[in-house]
Amino acid sequence: MRLRLSHKGLMLVSGVLLFELLLVAMFAGLMGRSDKELDRRYMAVSIISHVENLRRLLTEAELNYNQPGAGEAFYSTTASIDYELTALRLFLRDGQGENASTLDDLAWVEQTVNYEVKRLERLHQSIRSGGDPTFDYKQFGKSMQAASYRLDRLAKPFRRPLEFVTDAATISRRLIEDNIIFVVLINAVIAVSTTLFFMQGIVNRLSIVTDNSVRFGRGEELHPPLEGTDEIAALDAILHDTIKERVFVEQLLRESEAKTRTLIENMPVGVIAIDQDGVIESINPETERIFGYSFDEIVGDHLTALFSSPEQSDPKDFTSMLYQRAIGKTLKFESRRKTGEPFPAEMTLSEYESVDGPRFLAITQDITEREKAEQFKQELLAMVSHDLRSPLTSVQGVMTLLAKGMYGQLNETGEKRVKVAEQSLMRLIHLVDDLLDLERMEAGKMQFSLELVPLSSIVDRSIESVYDFAQQSHIRIDAVPIELQIYADEDRLTQVIVNLLSNAIKFSPSNSLITVEAKEDEGYVELCVHDRGPGVPAEHQDAIFQRFQQIESAFSTHKGTGLGLAICKAIIEGHEGTIGVRSVVAKGSCFWFRIPTSSQQISRDVFTANEPSKTAKVGMP
């Protein structure tokens, strides 16, 4: 039978209660029997007592009827006789099931006594009034003897069982007392036995559950699952399931840790785990290679052993600076190897939670080669800027003079060749200028002169710059009236709009319309250059703002450098804005940018509100 603990406990309690109810019923029967015997004894004693009282009163009445001054005593005696007769009548009527003939005797006694009492009352009244005191004592004596005889006969049935009733009640009481002691002992034995049996089953099963927990802690095999549907079996089943899940999770964690450890150990960058105080807890093999320390040599030392210079060797200050500036960012440090050789390194710090509290991972790279490449690039750009741009400008000037006939008149073929060469030189010079602009932006050396200017003047100036190009391509440009003042570098923002308009002209079909419109929204202005060209596919909309990215179009015969939109993106981000494109293929594109309209929304690294026209240095991405 599959029962729960609550059901078993209920059955145990119900059994004990049922046994106790049977005992109570038995005791109630014994007590009722004893009470019945006691009632019979009480009635017999009461009847005998009233009979004796009545006989005594009859004697007193006989003695007091003719005594001088005994009138009050006589009448009191007669009243008591009436009371005793009434009491006897009531007791005998209640006990008539015991002896019904006693009522007849009582009726005769009552009739005789009442007759003689009345005779005594008449004699007493006659004596008080001076009449004849003669009284038939002989007849009175016979009547009293007869009444006494009848009273003895009336009481006799009650005298005989009186001794027996007393003994029966005593025996019943003694039997009850003996049974109570016996039954209490039996009840205690049964209760203790059933409770021990019930608890033993619970304790044994709980001990198995407890032992399973201990076995799991030791890694030993568990006991088989307990049978049944009670709470302990359910708890044991949950324990088995939980342990299985935990074993499975631990296996997954071990596999995950192994994969993570393998990944970290094979990462091409240095990974250093540190605690909140900056003490090194672990490093990967790449870190050992970069710095020249083995795992055992460096673990336990402070991070300053790898990154700080001698004048910045205070661990507390270095750790505080690191946690404030390096979390989620990449910082450059002057590091040194085990040999004491200094080298440049980059570090990115990230925080994670462990069982021991917050911990940090320092991702480190040796950027020695990158620094060399950067130096080479700077030297190349310097060469391009000084050693290449100046000769190109000189050649362009010569070509311009040749085209104007300053060195003699050229024939038609010569003029065409000079014109093509001049255009090629212009493209080459623009490419050099674009490369220099991008380099300045990336190096944070581009200067922005921010001031309050009307947006309409920037748009008009930009349209004028591309007017001839638009006329040659039979393109019309329409600008929606804009009444808005913004803080911006007018020249740089004009450069952005000119570039967007030039691209729109390149990719628009002949005799089409380009629209320039702007709107203000929550402290920002958004300007859109909308063309009717072939559109930009969704997969290229982010790429076109990268370097050297272009989309071929059947409408465009002008080949660019692929740097224009990258420069636009850098300039707009320098204004703390965003740039993008919304396009539908075969229906046109909207190249837009969004910048703040007020100085309060521009970072103080870019612009100081008290000096709106001051030139500030801006670091570009």
- Domain membership of residue 465 (yes or no) is yes
Contacts of 60-68 with C-beta under 8 Å, sequence gap 24+, read: 61/117, 61/120, 62/120, 62/140, 62/144, 65/120, 65/123, 65/124, 66/123, 66/124, 66/127, 66/133, 66/135
The tokens for 273 are: 């785990």
Across-strand partners of 34? none
Please determine, for residue 137, whether its predicted confidence score (pLDDT) is greater than 70: no
Q: 594 and 499, same structural domain?
A: yes
- The answer to whether residue 514 scores a pLDDT higher than 70 is yes
Q: Please check the confidence at residue 530 and state whether its pLDDT lies above 90.
A: yes
- In terms of domains, do 92 and 41 share one? yes
Q: In this structure, is residue 209 part of a structural domain? A: no
CA 580 to chain centre: 41
| β pairing state of 342-354 and 330-336 | antiparallel
Instruction: Examine the domain organization and report whether 347 and 375 are in the same domain.
Output: no
Query: Residue 216: inside a domain, yes or no?
Result: no
Domain-located, residue 65 = yes
Residues 544, 507: Cα–Cα separation, whole Å: 14
Contact in structure between 523 and 552 (CB atoms under 8 Å):
no
Q: What is the CATH number of the domain that holds 503?
A: 3.30.565.10
Tell me the C-alpha distance between 307 and 318, whole Å: 9
173 and 297 share a domain?
no
Q: Which of 313, 342, 366 is the last residue of a domain?
A: 366
- Find the range with the poorest average confidence among 40-44, 275-279, 384-388, 447-451: 384-388
Distance of alpha carbon 246 from alpha carbon 242, whole angstroms: 6
Helix (H) or strand (E) holding 479: strand 476-479
CATH code of the domain containing 338:
3.30.450.20
Please return the burial class of 72, using the count of CB atoms within 10 Å of its CB with bins 0-12, 13-18 and 19+: exposed
- pLDDT above 70 coverage of the chain, percent: 73
Alpha-carbon distance of 507 to 551, in angstroms, equals: 10
What is the number of domains present in the chain? Answer: 5
- Asked if 158 and 194 sit in the same domain, the reply is yes
For residue 607, the model assigns a pLDDT of 39
Say yes or no: 273 and 126 in one domain: no
Rounded CA separation 107/558 (Å): 153
Residues 6+ apart with CB under 8 A from 321: none
Q: Report yes or no on 48 lying in a domain.
A: yes
Q: What is the 3-state secondary structure (H, E, C) of 365-378?
A: EECHHHHHHHHHHH
Of 366, 381, 407, at which residue does a domain stop? 366
Pair 520, 593 in one domain: yes
State the chain's mean pLDDT as an integer: 76
Nearest to 560 by CA among 571, 549, 576, 545: 549
pLDDT tens for each residue of 170-213: 665 666 666 667 777 777 777 777 776 666 667 777 777 787 77
Q: Give CA–CA dist 533/475, Å, rounded.
A: 11
Q: In this structure, are 89 and 61 located in the same domain? A: yes
CA distances to 4, 191, 232, 244 from 13, rounded to whole Å, are 14, 9, 20, 38
For 546-567, the pLDDT digits (tens) are: 876 666 554 445 555 677 898 8
- Tell me, what DSSP letter sits at residue 589? E
Report helix, strand and coil shares of the chain as percent, to nearest 5: 60, 15, 25
Phi, psi for 93 (deg, rounded to 5) = -65, -40
Task: Report d(CA 361, CA 427) in Å as an integer.
Answer: 48
- 361 plus 377 within the same structural domain: no
Residues 453 and 577 in one domain: yes
Residue 242: which H helix or E strand, with range?
helix 231-265
pLDDT of the residue at 1: 46
Element (H, E) at 170: helix 137-218
Predicted local distance difference test score (pLDDT) of residue 600: 53
Is residue 505 a part of any domain in this protein? yes
Domain residues for 64?
5-198
pTM of the model: 0.42
439, 466, 490 — which closes off a domain?
Answer: 439
* Tokens encoding 18: 């049922």
Per-residue tokens: 12: 């145990």
C-beta of residue 561 within 8 angstroms of C-beta of residue 546: no
Q: Tell me the three-class secondary structure of 218-231, residue by residue.
A: HCCCCCCCCCCCCH
Residue 460 and residue 526 in one domain: yes
Residue 215 included in any domain = no
- Top pLDDT among 293 and 599 is at 293
Both 411 and 451 in one domain: the answer is no
- Residue 205 belongs to some domain of the structure: no
Place of tokens 């690294």: 605
For position 606, what pLDDT does the model report?
46
